């Protein structure tokens, strides 16, 4: 059982106590405004002026909240202490990295691209200078390798200054790092060892390790595994690498499901894509449509791009809002089409409104919609766009019509800037080249949902592969580019700023920079009548929630404290902004206020708990983005409280259903229950219900960005009768 989560102040005190216990002699102070630790370090050897640093705690606090056992929380604290002293050592002594501790790190290419965007937001004046310190190499199109100095509980990524100080090139440092890996890591010692799982695929032998993904740097070793076809590699995150046979269709489909599940659940995924070993290199693999595994592999391609584009979009919104830039970001939408023969085809689509400057993600198809009242919008005569016809065309068709008015940008994932007004002849050309699935796309577009709605099944032999990974999530690498803040905090004497994010994807929440309701951020296609009418509107324009008066039944006042509560398993995923909400002392969770958005046809955008203490209703905080498309309040009948919450979730939290159970003394009677309707939209995987097993629920936890991702409950345990 995990102890209750500390507050932000308590977490800072915990870290400072551990740093001081480990030997820190400098003065430490907590800056609650910036959620950071301030320290003055004196360079005693050179008698230099004290150095001030800010150690930002937000990423660490988020990781601490996501830990699932005490071993993980202890490791996170150890990693913080580790990097604290490595930063101090490098900043004050100027010592070069120890080449015997160099190790290669294989991560998502996007983690580095995201860091660049975050730098341009948080520190635009020094962004270029700091970015030049980043050292990594892209390979296989979507992956990146960097070099880090390894410490007992963490890694510190090397910068360009580090390489210059060592007087070696990146390639030379990588060769040293790879050799160190083969000599020091048990899973790599004397070569990489793999073992079969159910005769279906291979995984690294030995313990799951936070650097198993580095096996991708040794394709010649992978090629030694016997296969009938070609070696297909899956690397959802740093702990796992799976190798399947391209000729074994059953194996490919099985690993595709496992790969997708691991990719979606990991807080710092690497890639959902399948890769082929091509000589000494890797390349993404998508077999031809005639291949029996095409659909499974295309699903992974779509899912990977959807995740990257969505995360990129959130960062770019922050950037454009900070720059006061008017440009619309179109959404990457996964799409399932069922053919006449019953087979599913996976595609991607985005929306472009004619004459609106838009950044389009690269998709299979584009929904081109006609704007009828552009002039009135420009002259601010109206805030409500009116749309005409919508055509569904392949990307290549739109590109040929727009020509140089569709310009590729230097971004990853790929985006294209569209800025033109279609002529009548252009509309005629596009209408003649509509795809034969156009009607099906138009029907399905409002319900764009996660790619697979099927719960992943796993064979008995593979359970340890995935289950063991969960126990080792605490070892996933903290790549906060610690040398980079050291570079501009200590060497360049710049104003302290938050360290750039890396593989953890701990993006700083932005203060509602949405352009919704302001032209040119024209709402995308809304074929669903209820959503089309309003789109996202301010909370003040949504219908008022049902008024909460006193309950007709008084509930017993529970005797619990925050430290007593037990956190349930997670329904959905836990990424981005994480929150906790607790009932007032002695209270029960008796209801939820749920706000729907427009993504996926109405996914959950905000959640607000309703508690009851005695006969008084009390509201928790609203957790989620401002505004919405619609909302609903679900609250227990007098004498009942929430005993179970069911969740369907994929790329967002699609829907929620609540089971109310009768209150009997200080317990709930699961046999006397009734259920609310499902609130949200279609799609998503069904998670194990968050059941309290007859105990009261006294709080919730979850995460959100534009949409909610997942939810947990806080349960009053049995021994507190």
**pLDDT-wise least confident of 70-74, 110-114, 268-272, 397-401:** 70-74
**Which helix (H) or strand (E) segment is 197 a member of?**
strand 194-197
| Domains contained in the chain, number | 2
pLDDT (tens digit per residue) in 618-631: 999 899 888 888 98
Q: Is residue 329 classed exposed, middle or buried when 0-12, 13-18 and 19+ CB atoms within 10 A define those classes?
A: buried
Residue 305: the pLDDT is 95
**pLDDT-wise least confident of 311-315, 481-485, 587-591, 643-647:** 481-485
Residue 19: the pLDDT is 86
Tokens coding 272: 């959902």
Residue 473: the pLDDT is 26
Residue 451: the pLDDT is 36
Maximum mean pLDDT: which of 215-224, 394-403, 453-462? 394-403
Residue 485: the pLDDT is 39
Pairwise pLDDT comparison (496 vs 217), residue with the higher score = 217
Residue 553: the pLDDT is 93
Q: Do the domain assignments include residue 1?
A: no
Q: Same domain, yes or no, for 407 and 546?
A: no
Pairwise pLDDT comparison (519 vs 486), residue with the higher score = 486
Query: 399 and 406 in contact (C-beta within 8 Å)?
Result: yes
Last residue of a domain, one of 447, 466, 489: 447
Q: Same domain, yes or no, for 580 and 704?
A: yes
pLDDT (tens digit per residue) in 295-333: 999 999 999 999 999 889 988 988 888 888 888 899 898
Q: Do the domain assignments include residue 347?
A: yes
pLDDT (tens digit per residue) in 388-435: 888 999 999 999 999 999 999 999 999 999 989 999 999 999 999 998
Is the model's pLDDT at 9 over the cut of 50? yes
pLDDT (tens digit per residue) in 484-513: 433 333 333 222 222 322 222 222 222 222
Per cent of the chain over pLDDT 90 is: 39
Domain at 643, CATH number: 2.100.10.30
Q: Same domain, yes or no, for 554 and 661?
A: yes
The pTM for the full model equals: 0.60
Provide the b/e sequence for 536-560 (b: ≥16 CB within 10 Å).
beeeeebeeeeebeebeeebeebeb
Tokens coding 183: 């000599």
Residue 378: the pLDDT is 74
CA angle 327, 328, 331 (to 5 degrees): 150
Last residue of a domain, one of 421, 447, 473: 447
pLDDT (tens digit per residue) in 250-262: 999 999 999 998 8
Pairwise pLDDT comparison (334 vs 383), residue with the higher score = 334
Q: Same domain, yes or no, for 675 and 561?
A: yes
Q: Do the domain assignments include residue 605?
A: yes
pLDDT band at 605 (very low <50, low <70, confident <90, very high): very high
- Average pLDDT, integer, range 512-522: 28
Q: Do the domain assignments include residue 357?
A: yes
Tokens coding 460: 């008995």
Q: Same domain, yes or no, for 552 and 416?
A: no
Q: 580 CB contacts (<8 Å, ≥6 apart)?
A: 5, 65, 699, 700, 701, 714
Q: Same domain, yes or no, for 707 and 606?
A: yes
Q: Same domain, yes or no, for 429 and 576?
A: no
Q: Do the domain assignments include residue 189?
A: no
What is the rounded CA–CA span in Å between residue 503 and residue 77? 18
Is the model's pLDDT at 575 over the cut of 60? yes
Is the model's pLDDT at 133 over the cut of 80? yes
pLDDT (tens digit per residue) in 520-569: 333 333 333 333 344 677 777 888 888 888 899 999 999 888 888 999 98
pLDDT band at 474 (very low <50, low <70, confident <90, very high): very low
pLDDT band at 207 (very low <50, low <70, confident <90, very high): low
Q: Same domain, yes or no, for 585 and 707?
A: yes
pLDDT (tens digit per residue) in 168-187: 999 999 999 999 988 877 77
- Average pLDDT, integer, range 24-31: 83
Tokens coding 23: 């030997």
pLDDT band at 204 (very low <50, low <70, confident <90, very high): confident
Residue 349: the pLDDT is 92
Per cent of the chain over pLDDT 70 is: 80
Is the model's pLDDT at 246 over the cut of 90? yes
What stretches of 238-394 adopt beta strand conformation (E)? 240-245, 274-278, 281-284, 328-329, 333-338, 344-353, 358-361, 365-371, 387-394
Is the model's pLDDT at 637 over the cut of 90? yes
Is the model's pLDDT at 91 over the cut of 70? no
Q: Do the domain assignments include residue 243?
A: no
Residue 401: the pLDDT is 95
Handedness of CA 401, 403, 409, 411 (dihedral sign): positive
Residue 278: the pLDDT is 85
Q: Do the domain assignments include residue 386?
A: yes
Q: Same domain, yes or no, for 564 and 687?
A: yes
Q: How does DSSP assign 58-114, residue by residue?
A: HHHHHHHHH--SHHHHHHHHHHHHHHHHHHHHHHHH-PPP-GGGEEEEEEEHHHHHH
Residue 530: the pLDDT is 36
Residue 562: the pLDDT is 81
- Average pLDDT, integer, range 94-111: 87
Q: Do the domain assignments include residue 628?
A: yes
Residue 191: the pLDDT is 64
Cis before residue 666, ω within 30 degrees of 0? no
Last residue of a domain, one of 447, 481, 516: 447
CA angle 628, 634, 638 (to 5 degrees): 155
* Average pLDDT of every residue of the chain: 79
- Average pLDDT, integer, range 658-669: 96
What is the rounded CA–CA span in Å between residue 161 and residue 295? 46
Range of the domain at 331: 326-447
Handedness of CA 635, 637, 640, 643 (dihedral sign): negative
| 537 DSSP assignment | B
């Amino acid at each position: 059982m995990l102890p209750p989560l500390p507050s932000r102040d308590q977490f800072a005190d915990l870290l400072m106590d551990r740093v001081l216990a480990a030997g820190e002699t400098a003065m430490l102070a907590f800056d609650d405004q910036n959620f950071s630790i301030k320290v003055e370090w004196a360079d005693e050897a050179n008698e230099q002026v004290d150095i001030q640093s800010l150690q930002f705690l937000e990423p660490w606090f988020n990781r601490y909240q996501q830990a699932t056992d005490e071993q993980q929380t202890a490791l996170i604290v150890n990693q913080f202490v580790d990097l604290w002293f490595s930063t101090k050592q490098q900043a004050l002594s100027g010592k070069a990295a120890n080449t015997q501790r160099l190790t290669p790190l294989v991560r998502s290419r996007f983690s580095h691209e995201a860091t660049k965007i975050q730098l341009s937001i948080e520190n635009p004046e020094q962004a270029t200078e700091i970015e030049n310190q980043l050292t990594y190499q892209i390979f296989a199109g979507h992956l990146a390798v960097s070099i880090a100095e390894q410490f007992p509980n963490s890694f510190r990524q090397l910068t360009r200054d580090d390489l210059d100080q060592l007087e070696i090139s990146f390639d030379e440092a990588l060769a040293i790092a790879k050799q160190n890996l083969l000599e020091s890591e048990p899973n790599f010692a004397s070569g990489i060892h793999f073992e079969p799982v159910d005769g279906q695929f291979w995984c690294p032998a030995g313990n799951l390790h936070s650097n198993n993904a580095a096996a991708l740097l040794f394709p010649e070793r992978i090629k030694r595994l016997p296969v009938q076809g070609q070696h297909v590699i899956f690397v959802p995150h740093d702990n796992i690498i799976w190798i399947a046979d391209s000729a074994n269709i059953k194996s490919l489909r099985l690993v595709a499901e496992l790969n997708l599940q691991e990719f979606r659940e990991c807080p710092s995924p690497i890639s959902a894509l399948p890769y082929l070993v091509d000589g000494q290199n890797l390349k993404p693999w998508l077999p031809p449509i005639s291949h029996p595994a095409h659909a499974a592999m295309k699903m992974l391609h779509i899912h990977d791009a959807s995740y990257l584009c969505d995360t990129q979009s959130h960062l770019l919104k922050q950037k454009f809002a900070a720059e006061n830039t008017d440009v619309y970001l179109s959404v990457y939408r996964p799409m399932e089409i069922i053919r006449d023969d019953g087979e599913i085809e996976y595609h991607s689509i985005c929306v472009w409104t004619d004459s609106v400057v838009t950044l389009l993600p690269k998709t299979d198809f584009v929904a081109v919609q006609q704007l009828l009242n552009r002039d009135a919008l420009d002259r601010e005569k109206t805030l409500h766009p009116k749309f005409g016809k919508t055509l569904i065309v392949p990307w290549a068709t739109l590109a040929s019509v727009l020509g140089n008015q569709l310009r590729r940008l230097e971004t990853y994932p790929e985006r294209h800037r569209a800025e033109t007004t279609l002529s009548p002849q252009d509309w005629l050309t596009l209408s003649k080249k509509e795809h034969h699935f156009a009607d099906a796309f138009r029907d399905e577009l409002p319900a764009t949902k996660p790619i697979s709605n099927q719960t992943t099944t796993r064979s008995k032999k593979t359970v340890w592969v995935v289950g063991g990974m969960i126990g080792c999530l605490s070892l996933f690498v903290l790549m906060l580019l610690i040398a980079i803040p050291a570079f501009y905090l200590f060497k360049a004497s710049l104003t302290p700023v938050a360290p750039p994010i890396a593989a953890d994807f701990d993006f700083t929440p932005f203060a509602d920079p949405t352009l919704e309701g302001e032209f040119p951020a024209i709402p995308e296609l809304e074929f669903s009548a209820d959503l089309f009418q309003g789109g996202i509107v301010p909370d003040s324009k949504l219908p008022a929630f049902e008024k909460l008066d006193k309950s007709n039944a008084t509930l017993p006042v529970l005797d619990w404290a925050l430290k007593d509560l037990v956190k349930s398993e997670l329904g959905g995923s836990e990424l981005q902004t994480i929150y906790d909400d607790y009932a007032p002392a002695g209270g029960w969770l008796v209801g939820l206020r749920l706000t729907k958005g427009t993504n996926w046809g109405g996914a959950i955008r905000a959640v607000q708990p309703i508690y009851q203490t005695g006969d008084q209703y009390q509201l928790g905080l609203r957790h989620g983005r401002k505004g919405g498309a619609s909302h609903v309040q679900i609250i227990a009948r007098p004498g009942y409280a929430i005993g179970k919450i069911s969740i369907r979730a994929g790329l967002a939290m699609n829907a929620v259903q609540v089971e109310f159970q009768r209150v009997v003394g200080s317990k709930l009677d699961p046999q006397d229950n009734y259920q609310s309707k499902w609130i949200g939209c279609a799609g998503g995987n069904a998670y194990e219900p968050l059941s309290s097993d007859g105990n009261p629920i006294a709080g919730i936890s979850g995460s959100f960005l534009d949409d909610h991702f997942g939810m947990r409950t806080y349960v009053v345990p049995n021994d507190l009768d």
